[in-house]
Amino acid sequence: MRLTTTASILCLTFAIHAQSKVISSPPQFLTIEAGTGGAPLASSFFGGYADYETQIFDGYHRGGGVKLISQIAHRIDYRNYKTAIAARTWTTVALHMSDGTWDGPMYPVFSANAQSTPTMVFSGSANWPALSGFPNGMTKPNPWGAQVKFPFKTVWATTGTKDILQHFKFSGGTLANNAAWTGRNDYLLDADRYTAAGTGYYYIYGGPWNCIDSYQSAYGYAYTYAVAYAKNAFNATYNDKLTIATRSSRTAPSALVLQAYALKSANLTLPGIQCQKLAVDVTQSIIFTAVANFGGSSARRFTTPWNPLFKGMRLYMQAAWSDSVTKETKLSRPAFTIILDQPTGKFRALYKIGTTAIKLSTAPAVLPVVRYTYN
């Protein structure tokens, strides 16, 4: 009878493990790299301090039903670590799991935010290896849990009616190279934009063609940057909005400048202008006038309600002016921006570094993407 019971338990255990599934937050990054639009993004606070405490509020799986979570895993940010990142050890990492609410009140006292009795699912030392080169080869993205994972000593059940609240506390950190660890020593984990997604670029056709005003010592240029905000970005001014910031620089000082915006580009050499090509389609553009400041710069910002049709659009921008001495028409180095998709939000964090005050953030630096293993 005892053997039969033991065999049944083993069979049940194997069955549970065989049924294990995985989900990620945000969900779209389970098999693809996060933070790939625009400048590279990574989380650097989580694992970056000798003593660090954080509560991560994850709203991506509300309404997703009951899940018995047995592990949390992260993955390092995909890049070539030309400057090695030191291995590190903490004498204790404690992880408690409980229910929470990502879009509700958050209190600057960690114990006040749990909406169910916290369960300690991990407690012990943690050792994260050094990172250099491509630590896992060049396959993108890096594998989940290859460097950073937290297997639970007991499963934690979420009913799916509320959100997931992770409460990590890192204590007694030391670096393998014996360097003093008094501030942040980055350990780069994959992360994304959660409430504001923006990107901007410079570009130029061919070249080198650069128009330089007689007053300036370098070419004039344009810059444009678009930011899509989540429906709930915790910013009343920008919730569910798109903002576009633009600037022309190093044109004639304190003089008129024309700024053209278009959804299509051009590549035309205009008569009398040999230093730069016309890069925006002026037949389908909007042109604004401005007066540059004494340094030759002029900036403006546009804000409009978000529309899903914006996703993937390119906005081209270029400035034109009359040279401050010769009065010849000159064109700036052009710019374009790609409008990224509106982020979904649903990720927030409270964090404390050492004995500092608790702070609230939705920044990639404090919120690595995460994978849950569950039954």
Q: What is the pLDDT of residues 177-199, one digit of tens each?
A: 888 999 999 999 999 989 988 87
Q: How far is CA 16 from CA 68, 117, 374, in A?
A: 10, 25, 9
Please give the Cα distance from 117 to 95 (Å, whole number). 13
Two tokens at 20?
């294990």
Q: How confident is the model at residue 262 (pLDDT cuts 50, 70, 90)?
A: very high
Specify the pTM: 0.78
Give pLDDT tens digits for 11-47: 434 444 447 899 999 999 999 999 886 667 999 999 9
**What are the distances in angstroms from CA 17 to CA 13, 123, 277?**
6, 22, 62
Sign, CA torsion 366/369/373/375: positive
Task: Quote the Cα angle for 39-43-45, to 5°.
Answer: 135
Closest CA to 95 of 66, 131, 146, 52: 52
User: Of 1.10.287, 2.60.40, 3.30.70, 3.30.310, which CATH number belongs to 196-338?
Assistant: 2.60.40
Write down how long the chain is: 375
Q: Please tell me the predicted confidence (pLDDT) of residue 37.
A: 67
Q: What share of the chain is helix, strand, coil (3-state, %, to 5)?
A: 10, 45, 45
Whole-number Cα distances in Å, 127 to 42, 81, 91, 187, 371: 20, 19, 9, 12, 19
Give residue-wise pLDDT tens across range 355-370. 999 999 999 999 999 9
- Residue 159's SS3 state is coil
* Encoded amino acid at 37, one letter: G
The per-residue pLDDT for 176 is 94
In whole angstroms, give the CA distance from residue 39 to residue 18: 39
Mean pLDDT of all residues in 187-216: 83
Residue 14 contacts by C-beta under 8 Å, 6 or more apart in sequence? none
Residue with tokens 């000159």: 330
Domain ranges of the chain: 19-194+344-374, 196-338
Instruction: Between 85 and 201, name the one with better pLDDT.
Output: 85
Q: CA dist 139 to 85, 135, 310, Å? A: 20, 10, 31
pLDDT at 6 over 60: no
Q: What is the pLDDT of residue 9?
A: 35
